[in-house]
Amino acid sequence: MSKSHATDAKTNEYLERYMEGVEHRNPGEPEFQQAVFEVAASIFPYIADKPKYHENQILERMAEPERVMYFRVPWTDDEGNVRTNRGFRVQFNSAIGPYKGGLRFHPSVNLSILKFLGYEQTFKNSLTGLPMGGGKGGANFNPKGKSDNEVMRFCQSFMTELYRHIGEDTDVPAGDIGVGGREIGYMFGQYKRITNRFVGVLTGKGLEFGGSKMRTEATGYGAMFFLRNMLEHAGDSLEGKRVSISGSGNVATHAAEKTLQLGGKPLTLSDSGGFVHCADGFTQEQIDWVKELKNVRRGRISEAAAEFNNIEFHEGKRPWGVEVDCALPSATQNEVNSDDAATLIKNGVKAVAEAANMPCEQAAVDAFTEANVMFGPAKAVNAGGVGVSGLEMSQNSARIAWDEDHLRSLLEGMMKDIHDSCVEYGTQESGPVNYLAGANIAGFVKVADAMLSYGHV
């Protein structure tokens, strides 16, 4: 056995033993185990010759949240029935700044999902270059079909417990699935009322009360900047590229809009009911219509096919069967499986960028890597959202508001820096960039070194 193969075998053995421990300590948490594996598989080879990280149990400590809050959220529906949901906040890692990360309201929310999201967030926030730790929270509340007043009462009850655990220098939540401007407004109003303080304790706020320009657009726009950077680094461009996008929420609609602005063709959008396909590429007017459908009328994506002649609806299906150059999963975790990956590869996909968090199953990621499809991992691709959240925190602390052009150029610059960090840590001897390894290592180093400075805390 050559020396490098012996080292590889040893690294694999460490990784296996490490994952056995993670699985043993976190039974019944498949999403969390999946997220830890995805990072650890890149980090073990990197730290093989850096004993300080092993000796100080850095990866073991990183896989334990610093603190988890789990609480009851009672509220009353419009018929006067008492309802009860579960609320959570996972304060994962504060090595490089206050806990920072979104709140998700969706019936599937559980501890495994929030731990995976909080763990991922730690590395993502590190990549932004801003001083933010990692956290995530939410509730198994389903906003679909609820009136504004029901959503308001739920948000107020949720904040009535959450407020004691957060603060502008402690933990700063934001939006995620099911939590947008409406929910952030209700929660900020309740925080302010309970504490009698007007501070930047949440991001994604309305522009009238401390929100930042570009925050709403940041995740989708940032994802497209990242995809463009990947293509350009490989000597290609976005011009004329056919792009399939899943989801039709905040991330998906802004990604579609930026695709159009950068010269690409957004072909699909979806929701949990199915996907819509526009072979001509969606126009800005159609994207605006979908935004209004989702944010104001709170309707279903199928309605787009009834409204526009050149849009078809495919019930119960995901968009990965459509032939495209680039795919941008932008809905939820594990929405691209190995069959979907095989179809995309067969149809000639060149690049896949994860705009949602962990939308590709491990087997799909492996398939893309094997087929030399450029693969942008979520923690790099969608970091623009939390990046502009960080800029919202800066503006709130300084009590100023930057203009849109300035924020757009900061976002674009941040995505370029993240891309370049991935290239720095992920360029392989064979030539192409392994963006997954690059993002994991670049995100890891800063958090790990801060943890080393603190001693064993």
**In angstroms, what CA-CA distances link 191 with 103, 157, 162, 232?**
15, 11, 9, 44
Q: Report which residue's Cβ sits closest to ligand NDP.
A: 249
DSSP three-state, residue 265: strand
CB of 203 to ligand 2IT, least distance (A): 5
Among 112, 128, 357, 440, the residue binding ligand 2IT under the rule CB under 6 A is: 357
Listed ranges 37-45, 106-114, 307-315, 380-388: which one lies at the site for ligand 2IT (CB under 6 A) = 380-388
DSSP three-state, residue 362: helix
The single residue of 100, 124, 136, 291 carrying the catalytic annotation is 136
Listed ranges 90-98, 99-107, 364-372, 410-418: which one lies at the site for ligand 2IT (CB under 6 A) = 99-107
Q: Which is nearer to ligand 2IT, 123 or 186 (CB)?
A: 123
DSSP three-state, residue 93: strand
CB of 389 to ligand NDP, least distance (A): 8
User: Which residues of the shown chain bind ligand NDP in the complex (CB under 6 A)?
Assistant: 106, 175-178, 180, 219, 247-252, 271-273, 330-332, 356-357, 382, 385
DSSP conformational letter for 208 = G
DSSP three-state, residue 426: helix
* 176 part of the interface to ligand 2IT, by CB under 6 A: yes
Question: Tokens 């997954």, residue?
Answer: 436
* 98 part of the interface to ligand 2IT, by CB under 6 A: no
Amino acid at the residue 336: V
**Do 329 and 359 meet the contact criterion of CB atoms below 8 Å apart?**
yes
* 35 part of the interface to ligand 2IT, by CB under 6 A: no
| Residue 356, contacted partner among ligand NDP, ligand 2IT, none, CB below 5-8 A by kind | ligand NDP
Cβ neighbours for 282, distance < 8 A, ≥ 6 positions apart: 256, 260, 266, 267, 269, 290
Among 102, 133, 249, 266, the residue binding ligand 2IT under the rule CB under 6 A is: 102
**Do 127 and 442 meet the contact criterion of CB atoms below 8 Å apart?**
yes
Count Cβ neighbours within 10 Å for each residue of 268-284 and write b for 16 or more, e otherwise: bbbbeebbbbbeebbee
DSSP conformational letter for 294 = I
Listed ranges 94-102, 283-291, 326-334, 413-421: which one lies at the site for ligand 2IT (CB under 6 A) = 94-102
Size of the site for ligand 2IT (CB under 6 A): 13
The Cα 392–Cα 134 span in angstroms is 16
Task: Give the pair of three-digit tokens for residue 369.
Answer: 């890597």
**Do 37 and 26 meet the contact criterion of CB atoms below 8 Å apart?**
no
| Residue 249, contacted partner among ligand NDP, ligand 2IT, none, CB below 5-8 A by kind | ligand NDP
The Cα 167–Cα 173 span in angstroms is 9
Q: Is 136 a catalytic residue?
A: yes
* 100 part of the interface to ligand 2IT, by CB under 6 A: yes
Q: For the segment 386-425, give every residue that binds ligand 2IT (CB under 6 A).
A: 386, 389
Q: Which is nearer to ligand 2IT, 389 or 396 (CB)?
A: 389
* 203 part of the interface to ligand 2IT, by CB under 6 A: yes
Among 133, 385, 438, 443, the residue binding ligand 2IT under the rule CB under 6 A is: 385
Dihedral angle at the C-alpha atoms of 322, 327, 332, 334, nearest 10 degrees? Answer: 80
| Residue 100, contacted partner among ligand NDP, ligand 2IT, none, CB below 5-8 A by kind | ligand 2IT
DSSP three-state, residue 325: coil
Supply the residues annotated as catalytic.
Answer: 136
The residues that touch ligand 2IT, with contacts defined as CB under 6 A, are 100-102, 121, 124, 174, 176, 203, 357, 382, 385-386, 389
